[in-house]
Amino acid sequence: MQQTMQPGPTISVVITTYNRPDALAAVVEACFMQDDKNFEIIIADDGSTANTRETIDRLRERAPMPLKHVWQPDQGFRAAMARNRGTLAAAGNYIIFLDGDCVPQRDFIARHRALAQPGCLVSGSRILLSQALTERVLREHIDLAGLGLPERLRYRLRGDMNKVLQTVLRWPDIGRVRRSFSWRRIKSCNLAVWRSDLERVNGFDESFVGWGHEDSDLVLRLFHAGVLRKDGALATEVLHLWHREAQRDEESSNRKVVLQRAVDKTVQAVRGLREHPDEAPSAPG
């Protein structure tokens, strides 16, 4: 009997941002230059001012794929809510979460598509850039993802990049699935999840206060729901632009919540996707 091929995922890239339009432009420009352009972009905006909206409007005019802007009022750090609203606005059945300061390489979408597997999420990794290199990239509009290996090696030797071989080496889809839960390298700045799995656990939990651990909480709850984690290292690396560390006043209390949920085997977010209307609010004005 002839087997039918399973269709590949329809991909939506949800990019979170807050008042950093120059970095956001660098990320979106890199999305425009992907080898695989069969995806949409949703900017999940956690309350940025008009400068960001104007930047997005300019980018939308020449976007080679659909680009949406989902905005919410600035009421403190609410990245979980922004990601949920981005998910609700997405048309794809596979959501790639990307931060507005993480520049994807040319094959980022293609690699994520290749690693997509039912019953799994993909946790990607990042390469950290120095403050000096970040400022130069944004000031001179350097095509960061287009840098050749010699340039990358020079930046690595000068301490402007913390890794370099991981940006050029590619490991096949072998031995990536983790059968047990691991706390290491969970980063919502580069995370791919099937939409149906997000809906099953009610998405990111917006009850977390302040910065920290809402990404670990999501991956933990997905694990409790039977979703395994694939390691996206040596395939999906992004180039993380430098920024000052966020305030982490609530980090310890958020961590305690996640640790308790590990014991309780919690699956559902207290406040998540189901607590929103069917469509996310569009950008004002």
Structure-token match 């302040």, residue found: 210
Do you know the residue count of the chain? Answer: 285
> Would you state the pLDDT for residue 279?
54
Strands 120-123 and 102-104 come out as unpaired
> Would you state the pLDDT for residue 184?
78
Q: What are phi and psi of 229, to 5 degrees?
A: -110, 130
> Would you state the pLDDT for residue 246?
63
Kindly list the structural domains of the chain, giving each domain's residue range(s) and its CATH number in brackets, ordered by start: 11-273 (3.90.550.10)
| Contact assessment for residue 192 and residue 58, using Cβ atoms and an 8 Å cutoff | no
What is the value of pTM for the model shown? Answer: 0.92
55-76 burial: b if 16+ Cβ within 10 Å, else e: bbeebeeebeeebbbbbbeeee
> Would you state the pLDDT for residue 282?
46
Q: What number of CA atoms fall less than 13 Å from residue 18's CA on the CB side?
A: 16
> Would you state the pLDDT for residue 3?
38
Positions of the chain with pLDDT lower than 70, given as ranges = 1-7, 246-251, 277-285
Percent helix, strand and coil across the chain, each to the nearest 5: 35, 20, 45
